[in-house]
Chain A
Amino acid sequence: MTSEPRPAVDELVARHYDELRVLARSYLRRERAADTLQTTGLVNEAYLRLVGVSELEPHERTRFFAIMATTMRRVLVDYARGRARVKRGEGAEPVPLQDVEESLTVEEAEELLVLDDALTRLERINPRGSDVVQYRFFGGLTLEETATLLGVSSKTVQREWLAARAWLRKEVARDLGLFRAVP
């Protein structure tokens, strides 16, 4: 056997995007513990399958993880949207019945939607803070990994993280009230 040539970022993503999505769904379905979204296990398993990530150039790695985190966010949000719709009685189409009990609670789904929305706003006023949240929350990277990827110190990442997180929590808490008040 010979080694394959080092794959480009796009090819890597193309190769794994699909399975990542499938995995995301399957995790949401089967392993919902009381207090976790299980993104850890989910992203873990997906990442472990990636071919040649370690061989990527630093700038490619950043891009790669960025795409992966975005993907995960999209999958989760899509899923949450389906959940929230079920609650509203707009048809159970996206989520088969058996999954309903095992996946995100409706409250979590709503929170995720509101969080996604707030994160989009944060991106406009603080792009790096939003990247940090995306990597850490949706991408599952540690502080240090995020720092390496962004090419800044861990301390900077920590500062960005705390501020962004506090702002998001505040926004989410308020919007959730509005969200749920909508008839």
Chain B
Amino acid sequence: MTDDVNTSQERRAPMHPELDRELWNRIASIFDRALEVHGQDRAALLDQVCGSDMTIRLEVEAMLEAHERDVGLLAEKRLPTGIASATLEPALAEGTRVGPYRIVSQIGAGGMGDVYRAERSDGAYRQAVALKVLRPGYRTAEMVRRFRIEREALARLVHPGIATILDGGALEDGRPYIVLELVDGIPITTYCAQRALGIRERLTLFLKVASTVQFAHGRLVVHRDIKPSNILVQANGAPRLLDFGIAKLMDLEEEASLAGRTTPDIRLLTPEYAAPEQLRGEAPSVATDVYALGVLLFEMLAGSKPFPAGGRTVNELERAILESPAPPPSTLAASPVVGRAVRGDLDRIVLMALRKEPERRYVSAAQFAEDVERYLAGRPVIARPDSVRYRTVKFVARNTALVAGGMMLAVMLIGFAATATIQARRIARERDRAERERVAADEVRKVLTGLIERGDPNKYPGGDTLRVTSLLDDAERAMDSMSGDSVQQAAMWRTVGGMRAARGEYARAIALLRKAYERRLAIFGSDDVEAARIQQEIGIVTVSYAGEAAARPLFDSSLTTLRRLLGDENEDVMKATANLLMVTTDSVVTRQLITRLDVLEQNVPVKDPIALAARLNSKGAERHGAHRYSEAAALYREAVDLLLKVEPPEHQDVRTVRRNLAIALVAGGRLAEAESLQRAAVLLEDRLNGPPMARGMSREALALTMMAAGRPDSAEVHERQALRWFRAGTAPEHWRIWSAQRNLAFIVAALGRVDEGLTLLDTAIAVASAGADSTSVTGYLTAQRIPLLLRLRRQTEALKSLTIAERRLGSSASVSPDHRADVHRYAGMAFLASGDVPQAVERFRAAVTLVEPPGRPDTEANINTCLLGVGLARLGRTVEARPMLDEPCKRYVAQGTPDPLILEWVASARAVALSS
């Protein structure tokens, strides 16, 4: 109840405190009798029966008065009536004729229609069939429309694993029906139990179901309601899928018309098998069926469902499906023997299919099936324990480099806490300790303290650079002349090293940090936590100076030391593990680190605000990867707020996260906000004379925002600057370099210099082929040649590039669905330009299917849909094409720098679609 109602209850409470069941009975009986009489008689009756009891008298009189006042919600005319009886009568009686069929008996009731056993009875031959018809009274336009869709969907699905559609028609009263093959079988789970199938047999049976589902997906039909009662196994052991009753075409026309309606998608699903996105009312996709297959395999293995309804209210069930992780099937297995067999790989496989986020499940039923096959063959499976953040961050960090005109999210390495405050505190600690040990160089310390105050560009931006540098030089000389094995000296080297690093003087910084590190080793031996921390810091500077690979041994060795000295579950160990993960490329090691980090995250409380901010930053990147841009922006903002409590606004960490924030804003279409953030960042980097990589990244982010805003001229200036900084700051084959070259290629092409763009792109490909992951990277970049070639009308060459690109990409797991969608789009463009429209349509459709969920705000989703519309219009399917040519194309055109060739296509397609 709301507070207001509670209040009213309290106020009213004393008015009839004594009303109880007994009193009610008396009141009700008087009321009954009073209703029978009127006027004077009624007054007399009340006088008689109530006597002097005014409570009862007033109550009854008020009720009688209310009885006459037939208004409000409880008015007679508003009362709903006659529901149950309408519901319960059987629809078609035995013997009813439906076209050439005769109803024999009702054999079931599906989500939206009753199913009858019927016989074909037109004399020629007798054939038993299943006849499915809409229920009486169930004739809203929406339902009839859906029923028609089902018929069309089924007609496309001729497969031995799917109950065949035989016929269809309408009853005399207009209700549509379909006639299906009658499947004689039992539900798959019952079959497994009855035959007492072993695990391998169950898996083999499951594979057949998965391949059938894959077949349907290939025909752009998602089942949406996969569950044991819809999968009957026949006597010969072959499973068949029934009841595409709520099958939904993945056709865009369908999607578009559904999206345009205000009525929510009426759900007809079975909660225990429903995927989270279905409960949220989102559009179902291939991933929805993958989820349901996961539930099915879970049940086939464990004998129960991951989220059984038993004992739970529906709300609880729904919440569990939406929020609780599914338990590993081995933990619910009926027997310990089965539990042991399922534990491990099978658990992982099932749980991968049951992930909450559709985009993180197996990408297809086929991929799911392949993993089961790998298990059966004793090969390693690709399913890994769920670890959202690190995996995604890793992915985002390494693969966004591929996205056309995409912006790179930066990961924050943790540990170089080097904030003025923290470090000052650290120095103070060391100083106290040293003072107790010996009397040392007070004068130098004073000088240093002063220098530290003035020499940190983060603290004093715009200070006289030369003066600061020379002061630092002086300080170093002074420190070097200090006597003995001083711990203080190490601390000072470390501090100054940090300041050098912040200024982008990486070589000097590393040299100083190394001296500090070695000094500590000399004093304390190899069992020194501080030394290991310094080594982490050297690693962080090394990432900027020489790249991830060079930093790896440093992170690795210091992590080993920290684990040895501090144990496994420790904040330092966690930070060091996170850092090592960010520079690791080996996939096996990556997986191990991710697993370890997940455990640490659960067990180690984090207090360090910088580590917390790094975590928020990672979460933001993860949300970004899931196209939840506003959520990502919120997380970044939170991280910035946290950092600002311990770091000055100019600090590297703050800038890193702000950069990510700007990228999320661009992706979310908030260009103006992003631009001002980025301009401020560029100005700041310039003023601080910051490290080259940071400056490059700021410039590049601004360049790409300019592209999104339709200002390629300005974009070119900034991207060229970025490329210069990247060249200055990293090894020549660093991915930032080829990525910037590629971005530049598209920028100059947008300015009309397509030839120059193509040359730049080819340079990028050459650079990339020297780096890691070169096959899939160059494959993708080669595909990106296509739009440029097409603008130069070099169609044949475009098709050649496509072949090369797809051969290189192969089935590489490092290519994300987004990238695959891009390649499909480029392929479609190549085919369209060469006149092979059907192939083009198929590719565009594949691209659209891959960039689910629909309604994504970014360009990728709109352009694919728009191009599909272009293709369909060329095929003369103008009705289907029209909605795609409308909103999605408009959105694509409205974004910054659309491809002029595509604009041309859209214009002519629209002319065709509108004139017909």
Contacts and interface: CB of A to CB of B under 8 A. Distances in A.
Task: Report whether chain A binds chain B.
Answer: yes
Interface of A: 1-4, 10-11, 13-15, 17-19, 22-23, 25-26, 29-30, 35-37, 39-40, 43-45, 47-54, 65, 81, 84-85, 98, 108, 111-117, 125-126, 129, 136-137, 139-142, 144-145, 149, 159-160, 162-163, 165-170, 172-175, 178-179, 182
A144 B9 CA distance: 34
A3 B107 contact: yes
26 contacts: A13-B314, A14-B317, A19-B267, A22-B267, A22-B281, A36-B78, A37-B78, A44-B87, A45-B140, A47-B84, A48-B87, A49-B112, A54-B90, A65-B84, A84-B2, A84-B4, A112-B73, A115-B74, A140-B82, A140-B83, A145-B82, A145-B83, A159-B28, A163-B31, A166-B31, A170-B62
B147 to A, nearest CB: 13
B135 interface: yes
Given A18-B271, A165-B67, A170-B62, A126 B32 contact: no
Interface residues of B, number: 87
Contacts of A142: 81-85
A102 B50 CA distance: 47
B4 A182 contact: yes
Contact of A179 (B5, B137, B274, B318): B5
Given A1-B130, A170-B65, A179-B4, A11 B309 contact: yes
Interface in B269-298: 269-272, 274, 279, 281
A166 B63 contact: yes
B8 A178 contact: yes
A182 B8 contact: yes
Given A45-B140, A54-B88, 6 more contacts: A18-B274, A47-B84, A49-B111, A98-B262, A117-B1, A179-B8
Contacts of B281: 22
Given A14-B317, A45-B138, A29 B130 contact: no
Interface string B288-331: 00000000000000000000011000100110000000000000
Interface in B65-110: 65-67, 69, 72-75, 77-90, 106-110
B266 A52 contact: no
B108 A81 contact: no
Given A48-B86, A115-B74, A137-B74, A126 B69 contact: no
Name the 7 nearest CB pairs between A and B, nearest first: A140-B80, A40-B80, A169-B66, A166-B63, A170-B66, A17-B314, A166-B67
Contacts of B11: 178
Given A44-B86, A84-B2, A18 B185 contact: no
A10 B308 CA distance: 12
B35 interface: yes
Given A47-B87, A163-B63, A4 B108 contact: yes
Contacts of A49: 111-112, 135, 138, 268
B195 interface: no
Contact of B28 (A13, A116, A163, A168): A163
Contact of B314 (A14, A144, A174): A14
B84 A1 contact: no
B183 A1 contact: yes
B279 A166 contact: no
Nearest to B279: A18
A125 B23 CA distance: 8
A115 B74 CA distance: 9
Interface string B1-19: 1101101110110000001
Nearest to B112: A49
B264 A166 contact: no
A18 B84 contact: no
Contacts of B184: 2
A40 B215 CA distance: 42
Interface string B484-504: 000000000000000000000
A2 B73 contact: no
B24 interface: yes
Contact of B232 (A2, A81, A172): A2
Q: Which of A10, A14, A144, A149 has the most CB of B within 10 A?
A: A14
Nearest to B137: A48
Nearest to B78: A36
A150 B80 CA distance: 18
Contacts of A139: 83
Nearest to B190: A5
Given A10-B310, A170-B62, A115 B73 contact: yes
A48 B850 CA distance: 37
A126 B21 contact: yes
Given A3-B108, A169-B69, A26 B266 contact: yes
A79 to B, nearest CB: 13
Q: Which of B27, B67, B107, B186 has the most CB of A within 10 A?
A: B67
A177 B872 CA distance: 62
Contacts of B62: 170
Nearest to B270: A15
A172 B65 CA distance: 13
B370 to A, nearest CB: 31
Contacts of B72: 111, 169, 172-173
Nearest to A149: B84
B135 A48 contact: yes
Contacts of B242: 1
B180 A1 contact: yes
Interface in B675-705: none
B182 interface: yes
Contacts of B74: 115, 137, 165, 168-169, 172
A136 B79 contact: yes
B64 interface: yes
Given A22-B264, A111-B73, A166-B66, A17 B271 contact: yes
A102 B271 CA distance: 29
A35 B87 contact: no
B263 interface: yes
B115 interface: yes
Given A19-B268, A126-B21, A168-B74, A162 B67 contact: yes
B557 interface: no
B19 to A, nearest CB: 6
B185 A29 contact: no
A85 B130 CA distance: 51
Contact of A162 (B8, B35, B78): B35
A27 to B, nearest CB: 9
A26 B19 CA distance: 39
B309 A18 contact: no
B470 interface: no
B20 interface: yes
B87 A50 contact: yes
A40 B77 contact: no
Interface string B476-487: 000000000000
A81 B2 contact: yes
Contacts of A84: 2, 4
Nearest to B113: A49
Contacts of A174: 12
Contacts of A140: 80-83
Contacts of A175: 8, 12
A57 B278 CA distance: 32
A112 B78 CA distance: 13
Contact of A2 (B83, B107, B309): B107
Contacts of A166: 31, 63-64, 66-67
A70 to B, nearest CB: 11
Nearest to A135: B84
Contacts of B117: 1
Contacts of B136: 48
Contacts of A36: 78
B229 interface: yes
A4 B235 CA distance: 18
B5 A126 contact: no
A18 to B, nearest CB: 6
Contacts of B24: 125-126
Nearest to A174: B12
